[in-house]
Amino acid sequence: MKIGVIGLGYVGLPVALAFSRKFEGTIGFDIHEGRIAELRDGIDHTDESTPEELAESPLSYTCAIEDLKDCNFYVIAVPTPVDSNNDPDLTPVRAATRSVAQVLSKGDIVVFESTVYPGVTEDICGPLLEELTGMTCGTDFKLGYSPERINPGDREHTLERIVKVVSGQDSETLDAVAEVYGAIITAGVHRAPSIKVAEAAKVIENTQRDLNIALMNELSIIFDIMNIPTRDVLEAAGTKWNFLKFFPGLVGGHCIGVDPYYLTNAAERLGYHPQVILAGRRINDNMGKLVAQKAIKMLINRDVPIKGARVAVLGITFKENVPDIRNSRVPDIINELKEYGCTPLAHDPYACSKEVQDEYGITLSKKEELTELDAIILAVSHQAYLDEDSEFDFTKMSSSKGLIVDVKACLNRSAIPEHIEYWAL
């Protein structure tokens, strides 16, 4: 097999690096010239691969699809976002499919890794390849689908260590796809009986997480009204053997908050209108506003003037310890605070300031500016904020009437001085 990986982001790069260690001549393609340039320089801004890994890898990088013409196994790992109406945007998947069509030969296999709704691989991408190449899907070339389960920032559940679901449009293709992935996945592969099963499996993994978090968020709203700390309730309930360990929080990023819409959109087009899944989405999408409103209420109760109140919002990435700001829900907190007239001071030790400015119009503050704070909202529990010898001393940063909103409930309550009010989601 000669493998070509299309799309070298959080998913595609680790996959391409792993293949390059087992399959000679593996080549990675991306349309983003800057990405190819940084990888050639041995840098991965996503932090998923180390400079040593990049330096040791025989993987080659290109922006020219013709360089992939000798490949016979294509892996497509391009983004699958939603548009402003939360409808699936298959533009990158179609574009990548068009690129592969330019170099596809008889006998080749095309495997999609992008998260999609059931049917995209066989009903959209296969026909597109047929139309552009004049070849017949299933005889001249074959399709496969293998969803990705990596978890950015997680050094334990890495590509090789997670069982990988594989599928193919017929048993021969399934064997080939299983063999290729089996060569890199030490945890083993799971052979799904069809491509649609594999597509559906991926999309429900994230839908299930989204809904479980939505339930926790709803519970935290109820318990807040009842004046009961949600975390204490969850800790008590969690002692039962079958109580699932989920926690309230902001659901951002380009997977959990997006993938459920792929499923609900496909269902709606078939005449079924999902209720539970979309209710979960609505709850989770509203949590940023709710956190800001809670901080405002607490400030009012502490007689702090809202207009001009200095509120630090710590962390802007979509999750802890990663630089990825896409679909972060933290800007919801910042925007809501601004609407009330507060002065939010956003800070993040990992996010790129320029990206934050371009994407959200938010200027990140320097650590030195975070003084005399009327409130601190710890939105993302980056390690840099939590380390014992952290340079962020919340007590020193707070004004005399300080207050801390701990979105992920990760601070030690007993270590916070009494004059600072504390609230966790």
Catalytic (active-site) positions: 255
**What is the x/- site pattern for ligand NAD, positions 381-400, by CB under 6 A?**
--------------------
Q: By C-alpha distance, which of 311, 254, 313 is closest to 288?
A: 313
**10: contact with ligand NAD by CB under 6 A:** yes
Phi-psi region for residue 42, left (φ > 0), alpha (ψ -120 to 50) or beta? left
Closest-CA residue to 75 (of 144, 175, 166, 174):
144
Q: Is 11 in the site for ligand NAD (CB under 6 A)?
A: yes
Instruction: Identify the DSSP state of 391.
Output: S
Residue closer to ligand NAD by CB (options 2, 326) is: 326
C-beta separation of 111 from 145 below 8 A: yes
SS3 state of residue 239: coil
- The smaller minimum CB distance to ligand NAD, of residues 49 and 230, is found at 49
> Which uninterrupted H or E stretch holds 178?
helix 171-182
Q: Taking the CA of residue 98 as centre, how many other CA atoms within 13 Å lie in the half-sphere pointing to its CB?
A: 7
Does 115 help bind ligand NAD (rule: CB under 6 A)?
Answer: yes
CB of 203 to ligand NAD, least distance (A): 10
Shortest spacing between CB 336 and ligand NAD, in angstroms:
27
Query: Which amino acid, 309?
Result: A
DSSP 61: E
Sign of CA pseudo-dihedral 397, 399, 405, 406: positive
Judged by CB, which is closer to ligand NAD: 10, or 181? 10
The answer to whether residue 32 forms part of the interface with ligand NAD (CB under 6 A) is yes
12 binds ligand NAD (CB under 6 A): yes
99 binds ligand NAD (CB under 6 A): yes
Options 148, 199, 320, 406; binder of ligand NAD; rule CB under 6 A:
148
Nearest approach, Cβ of residue 364 and ligand NAD (Å): 21
User: Is 100 among the residues that bind ligand NAD (CB under 6 A)?
Assistant: no
Give Cβ neighbours of residue 16 (< 8 Å, ≥ 6 apart): 3, 5, 8, 26, 27, 28, 59, 75
Q: Given the complex with ligand NAD, which of 81 and 138 has the nearer CB atom?
A: 81
Should residue 27 be labelled a site residue for ligand NAD when binding is judged by CB under 6 A?
no
Q: Which range in 17-25, 101-109, 147-155, 389-397 contacts ligand NAD by CB under 6 A?
A: 147-155
Characterize 73-101 residue by residue with b for buried, 16 or more Cβ atoms within 10 angstroms of its Cβ, and e for exposed: bbbbbbbbebeeebebbbebbeebbebbb
Which is nearest to 193 in space by CA: 221, 174, 212?
Answer: 174
**Are 261 and 88 a contacting pair, CB within 8 Å?**
yes
Site membership for ligand NAD, residue 80 (CB under 6 A): yes
Residue 254 interacts with ligand NAD (CB under 6 A)? Answer: yes
CB of 363 to ligand NAD, least distance (A): 24
Is 257 or 349 the residue whose CB approaches ligand NAD more closely? 257
Residue 152 lies near ligand NAD (rule: CB under 6 A): yes
| Of 354, 362, 404, 350, the residue nearest 379 (C-alpha) | 404
Residues 37-76 as x/- pattern, contact with ligand NAD by CB under 6 A: ----------------------------------------
* Shortest distance (Å) from residue 46 CB to ligand NAD: 6
User: Count of residues binding ligand NAD (CB under 6 A)?
Assistant: 28
Would you count residue 173 as binding ligand NAD (CB under 6 A)? no
Residue 62: C-alpha distances to residues 39, 191, 242 (Å) = 10, 31, 49
| Contact with ligand NAD (CB under 6 A) among 43, 95, 236, 300 | 95
Nearer to ligand NAD, 7 or 126 (CB): 7
Q: What DSSP character marks residue 141?
A: B
Q: What residues line the site for ligand NAD (CB under 6 A)?
A: 6-12, 29-32, 35, 77-80, 92, 95-96, 99, 113-115, 148, 150, 152, 254-255
